[in-house]
Amino acid sequence: MKIFVTGGTGFIGMHFIEAALTVGHQITALYRSSSKKYLLKNKKLDWIDSEMDKVTTAQLSGHDAFVHLAAAGVNIELATWEACFDVNVVKSIQIWDEAVRAGISKFIIAGSCFEYGKSALSYKNVPTSSSLKPTGAYHASKAAASMAAIALCAEKNLQVAILRPFHVFGEGESDQRFWPSLRRAALSGDDFKMTKGEQVRDFINVEDAAKIFLRFVDMKLINGDAHIENVGTGISMTLKDFAEYWWNKFGGTGKIILGAVPYRDNEIMHYVPEIISNTR
């Protein structure tokens, strides 16, 4: 299968491409010049240096599936409303529309667990049928993009899967995020300051998340009726337990200092998905 990928040098994107190449798919992927150092090399992999809104019908033609992993605002502390809606909604819709004109009818789109927002307060395990009540710029822009994708699917009679990853971690994650910061402190012998760690989450390794995206590329979807799926393990764990597990795994000699960091404003303490089938 020939797959067009946005966000190919991103966290999930790099792992998705490696998984897809391993099973023999041919990939065309976007990158920006600032991400050039992350480029993978493979004879079945073609890179395009372009912004999403500059991709042409000719570049998209001949592909069997479109996997959309590009996003702005993943680092929520740095997210702005303008950038999130420009990339995650406006430019995303532009390239999806161009892909439809190029003859692509199958789309696998990365949503986000943060689309659910405050709805998570009402559930032990958040179902995909839950209302979307986002609480920030990134969260709201991903929810808006999901609505656009659902409508585009119905209007153009496409095969669309919107996959909402929960808490993905692993190799290639931004240095400022929790797991890489924990690893860095453990390996250097430093103490690690964090919240009390009472947050309950579903943590999924990025390699497993990427394989779920690939599984949906190969899956038969219903035309005109977008499929929405949570991406996780089905196992809930407190952030404290997650930190202590990996601290011991890394052989940390310092201390984890619980309660040294305050919780975020509006932090949702229990954020766990209902998982139907994607990890089976």
Residue pLDDT, tens place only, 129-180: 999 999 999 999 999 999 999 999 999 999 999 999 999 999 999 999 999 9
Query: Are 119 and 133 within 8 A, CB to CB?
Result: yes
**47 vs 54: CA distance, rounded Å:** 14
* pLDDT band per the 50, 70, 90 thresholds, residue 280: very low
Three-state SS at 64: coil
Return the beta strands (E) in the chain as ranges: 2-6, 26-31, 45-49, 65-68, 106-110, 159-165, 167-169, 192-194, 200-201, 203-205, 227-231, 237-238, 256-258, 270-271
Read off the pLDDT band of 40 (50, 70, 90). Answer: confident
Range 269-276 average pLDDT: 94
Asked if pLDDT for residue 37 goes beyond 60, the answer is no
Asked whether residue 213 carries a pLDDT value surpassing 60, the answer given is: yes
Residues 57-67 have pLDDT tens digits of: 999 999 999 99
Res. 221: pLDDT tops 70: yes
Kindly report the number of other CB atoms within 10 A of residue 198's CB atom. Answer: 14
Structural domains of the chain, with CATH:
2-169+203-231 (3.40.50.720), 178-199+236-271 (no CATH)
Would you call 169 helix, strand, or coil by DSSP? strand
Q: Which pLDDT belongs to residue 38?
A: 66
Q: How far apart are CA 245 and CA 222, in angstroms?
A: 41
pLDDT computed for residue 279 by the predictor? 42
The answer to whether the beta carbons of residues 67 and 6 sit under 8 Å apart is yes
| pLDDT-derived band at 265, boundaries 50, 70, 90 | confident
For the segment 77-105, the average pLDDT, to the nearest whole number, is 95
Q: Decide if pLDDT at 277 tops 70.
A: no
| Segment among 40-49, 59-68, 220-229 with least mean pLDDT | 40-49
DSSP track, 20-43? HHHTT-EEEEEE-GGGGGG----T
